[in-house]
Structure 1
């Protein structure tokens, strides 16, 4: 018997386990998934918790419920991987052998990496919303916030779901208007980027939306520390941004065991081939989802599309054949913009988000780079799809690789667009 060991039972790890369980001969393979606990959060739901849209029990379910029968689920903290021996060591002393290893332990916010962030104001006037604890605490803080300066802040890139801070800003602006507080609150968006997003066309479009909503944007801000006593963000070039309520996205890093195992880069992400997701150091190790260092968004859609390519590649690889699939970095993200509207962006390694229609060219029903109510409904509907279709490994009728069909590509400056 050969053993496939999957570290991490989140989005990517669960999909890999369920899809390969259907494809690998059960009399030749065992599949084991390792995670620290049985709580599987629907992470896109954290964004909505501060505004009362979701309760915590709506976005956290039992991990084992989504793992296929016949796949072993092991609970425990991972201490390290011994790749030369093909052994994973757990902190309680257990050892798990493997023939092939998939690292899918994601990325996590690390407020400890920024001096002062975990100071006296943590979860008082300084919050994250990338954890359930932070999101629920922020909901209570917003209930008592009626004036002052609300700052939305990103420490550094890459981060999990890079559009989420923008979404929070748009939702907060709409919520403040609904509460009759917008004129009493100064809203500021602080980013280490030179614009609002990593891709120029989308950055200009989203930046224009912030300007329309009278949101101040502070760019190229590399945070050095948070001063909790004075309630200011301090940058390395000594600029300061004061706040009354700070909603921050801490530094994101991969799992610590990756560093202890000598498998990661400076942020604990596993270096892999960006098309096959195979480790650049070991041909028995793959990293998928947020755990890898591929130059794509750390988002659930990327994990989903990557898994679709990975499964066939893995079957070829373990059969001793060349891997013929090439993941293109496809990302597909709804961007909540408030007032029951959202945008949709669709892009990959080489092509930035463009306007158009998705998934059916000229028809949609989703519009790309345009605020619509249909996109908002699509964002909300995805929670049902996530639990009932995506995690179980059922097919979704969307291409894993990005298509240019339906996208409007500018021919040249000052000319009309054409649809590809």
Structure 2
């Protein structure tokens, strides 16, 4: 009996075990997934909790029923991966052997990595995150009682989960305060370590103009060194004061990755960006946010990469070459407020461009263009997540990005 051990039952881990359970013979393969939490969270929904778009119960379900029959679910915390003898140690002393290992434990916000962020009792009193369930709920209460002052949306450093989410929060906050008739009493500031609104030029220009239109001040190239009371201080000694800070702390992989000698400085596992095979190993893979692939840490990346990975894994385990190559495909809906959103679609080599998706010239979704249909597409994805994506059912979208329906904007005067 061969043993596949998956660490983490988030989006990537759940998809992998559910898909591979249908591809690997039960008589030949034991599939086990290790997960410490008995609740699975729909993380894209965190963005909507502070604004009351979703209720708390809409973004969570019990973990167990999401895992296919025939997959062993072990509740436990990983302490260390012993690659020398192919086993994983749990914090309670249990030892789990494996023939193949998939690391899918994602990343988590680490406010402790920024000096002063957790000092003075301000955390979730004046300084908030929305990348966690508890943080998003606390922020909902803070926004409800916020009636004037400077609200700063801040990114500590890249990479982060869903890099457009802070922009979305800024757009939604603008709409939220306008709808409450108090936008003129709120100064909105967007502080980012990037030179512009986004990492790619065309999308950065489009999103940057949207910030300008909404009178949201951009503080670019802002690398925070510390938090002094109610002031963000950058390494070049610029200061951004705040009355309410909505921050995205440094995102880091699990600590056991570092203890196991498998990670980089952010505890992300270096992998081949096309096959997800961990560098230096023949039986260890890392999927989803846990890897260091140079693309967006988003649910769409998990979906598209897992599609490629499953076929590759079946071939690899059978001693055949892995011929599938993930191209870094990602697409993300970007909420812009007032019931509209954009869609961006890109990969390792091609930046987000205008056009239509997924059907050329038909859509229905519009690329880099605010439209109501994009907003409804984002809301509809929650149903797709629970009922199609996690169970591993096929989605009629190609894993690789297509240029069909896209066009490169003209430049110049």
Q: How would you bin the TM-score normalised by the shorter chain?
A: over 0.9
Distance 1:60 1:115 in 2: 32
Structure 1 runs, 4 residues or longer, greater than 4 Å off: none
1:60-86 CA-to-partner distances (Å, cap 9, x unmatched) read: 101111100010000011000001100
- Taking the TM superposition and a 5 Å limit, the aligned residue runs for 1:73-152 are 73-119=73-119, 120-152=121-153
Partner SS, residue 304 of structure 2: helix
Look up the match of 2:342.
343
State the secondary structure of the residue aligned to 2:375.
helix
In 1, Cα distance between the equivalents of 2:217 and 2:107? Answer: 29
Larger displacement relative to structure 2 (352-361 or 50-59): 50-59
Alignment-derived partner of residue 411 in structure 2: 413
Q: Secondary structure at the match of 2:245?
A: strand
Structure 2 matches for 1:243-322, cutoff 5 A? 243-322=242-321
* CA distance in structure 2 between the partners assigned to 1:137 and 1:125 by the alignment: 10
1:375 maps to 374
Gaps of 5+ in 2: none
1:413 Cα deviation from its structure 2 partner: 2.9
Consecutive unaligned residues in structure 1, runs of 5 or more: 416-420
Structure-2 separation of matches of 1:362 and 1:51: 33
Query: Match of 1:361?
Result: 360
TM-superposition CA deviations, 1:9-55 (whole Å, max 9, x none): 00000000000000001100010000112110000000000001112
1:338-360 Cα deviation digits (max 9, x unpaired): 00000000000000000001000
The alignment partner of 1:409 has SS state of coil
Deviation at 1:367, TM superposition (A): 0.4
SS at match of 1:337: strand
**TM-score, with normalisation over the residues of structure 1?**
0.97
Q: Where does residue 54 of structure 1 map in the other structure?
A: 54
Q: Distance in 2 between matches of 1:409 and 1:204?
A: 14
How much does 1:414 deviate?
Answer: 4.3
Quote how far apart the aligned CAs of 1:164 are. Answer: 0.2
- Spell out, residue by residue over 1:281-333, the C-alpha distance to the aligned partner (whole angstroms, 9 max, x if none): 11100000000000010010000000000000001111111100000000010
Deviations 1:231-283 (A, max 9, x none): 00000111100000000000000000000000000000000000000011111
Name the CA distance, whole Å, in 1 between partners of 2:365 and 2:328. Answer: 21
Partner of 2:182: 181
Is 1:210 the counterpart of 2:211 in the alignment?
A: yes
Partner of 2:384: 385
Alpha-carbon deviation of 1:217? 0.2
Find the aligned partners of 1:251 and 1:56 in 2 and give their Cα distance. Answer: 25
Q: Which residue of 1 aligns with 2:238?
A: 239
Q: Alignment length, in residue pairs?
A: 412
What TM-score do the two structures reach when normalised by structure 2? 0.99
Corresponding residue SS for 2:22: helix
1:31 is matched with 31
Q: Give the Cα–Cα distance (whole angstroms) in 2 for the partners of residues 78 and 175 of structure 1.
A: 41
Offset, 1:409: 2.2
